[in-house]
Amino acid sequence: MTMSLGPYASFIATSYAAAALVVAILIGWIVLDYRSQTRRLRELDRSGITRRSGRGAMDRP
């Protein structure tokens, strides 16, 4: 199947390429942030810091 995009073919192709690049950058950013947050949570867990929501109602000081 061939498509004729007419005189705007370069604009359309560039727009799709730019959109794909932005999506790829956002996916990469999310992956890196996930790894960073996971690493920070592991460090906090190793140091003994717990979540406030992990305590029961009777455990409050």
pLDDT digits (tens, 9 = 90+) for 8-53: 999 999 999 999 999 999 999 999 999 999 999 999 888 887 767 6
Q: How would residue 5 be classed by pLDDT, with cut points 50, 70 and 90?
A: confident
DSSP the chain: -----GGGHHHHHHHHHHHHHHHHHHHHHHHHHHHHHHHHHHHHHHTT---GGGS-GGG--
Q: What is the pTM of this model?
A: 0.66
Q: How would residue 2 be classed by pLDDT, with cut points 50, 70 and 90?
A: low
**Mean pLDDT across 1-6:** 72
Backbone angles phi, psi at 14, to 5 degrees: -65, -40
